């Protein structure tokens, strides 16, 4: 895929969704970090329901610590893997209080040192909370990048590096939100909705399915 076609793809995605953002509800970097930690193998809808109960009670690292592990679990037990997620969130809260004055750090190295935070989560925080032009490659982006021909790769890291290299600079800040939303609602895994896709004629997927 050439640079002209990539530019047109993102121009159309921007026209389709002018102000893309995460579907997780948050107002502070720590709320976003909490929501992303809880979202692994869970739906954004399910996470938002849990955080709607949790955040009014505890939406800071110190507040999470004051809840205690069992108290935290009571708020997030509707989310898959809640035991492990609660433990990671408690440990993260302790590190943030002890080492970062209760603030979410702004570097990849410090973020990835937090329990439960990998490269994808760090990229989400850096991009969405702090405005860095990172691209967090999840299963949706991996699928869309490979299927369309935007950035083919055998693993998420290869796709991330190719996207960072090939996505036009003007679109890089919002690229991962556009691709996630496109993968979630149009370029879905089993039966992509090619007939209602705004980039169908630019896409290099050879087995297009006409499902409007």
Q: Return the active site residues.
A: 120, 138
Backbone region of residue 149 per phi and psi (left: phi > 0; alpha: psi in -120 to 50; beta: other values)? left
Q: How far apart are CA 72 and CA 63, in angstroms?
A: 10
State the first-to-last Cα distance of the chain, in angstroms, to the nearest integer: 25
Provide the token pair at 65. 């610590």
> In Å, how far are 35, 39, 51 from 54, measured between CA atoms?
10, 14, 5
- Residues recorded for the chain: 212
> In Å, how far are 21, 36, 43, 123 from 106, measured between CA atoms?
19, 16, 26, 11
DSSP for 81-132? THHHHHHHHHHHHHHHHHHSTT----SHHHHHTSTT--HHHHHHIIIIIT--
């Amino acid at each position: 895929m050439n640079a002209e076609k990539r530019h047109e793809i993102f121009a159309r995605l921007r026209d389709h969704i002018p102000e893309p953002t995460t579907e997780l509800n948050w107002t502070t970097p720590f709320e976003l970090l909490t929501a992303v930690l809880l979202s692994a193998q869970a739906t954004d809808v399910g996470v938002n329901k849990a955080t709607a109960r949790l955040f009014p009670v505890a939406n800071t690292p110190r507040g999470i610590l004051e809840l205690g592990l069992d108290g935290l679990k009571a708020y997030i037990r509707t989310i898959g893997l809640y035991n492990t997620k609660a433990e990671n969130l408690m440990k993260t809260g302790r590190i943030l209080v002890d080492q970062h004055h209760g603030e979410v750090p702004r570097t990849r190295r410090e973020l990835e040192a937090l329990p439960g935070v990998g490269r994808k989560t760090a990229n989400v925080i850096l991009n969405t909370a702090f405005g860095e032009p990172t691209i967090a490659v999840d299963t949706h982006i991996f699928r869309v990048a490979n299927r369309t021909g935007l950035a083919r790769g055998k693993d998420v890291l290869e796709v991330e590096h190719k996207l960072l290299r090939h996505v036009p600079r003007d679109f890089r800040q919002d690229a991962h939100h556009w691709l996630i939303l496109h993968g979630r609602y149009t370029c879905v895994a089993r039966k992509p909705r090619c007939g209602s896709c705004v980039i169908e004629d630019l896409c290099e997927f050879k087995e297009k399915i006409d499902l409007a």
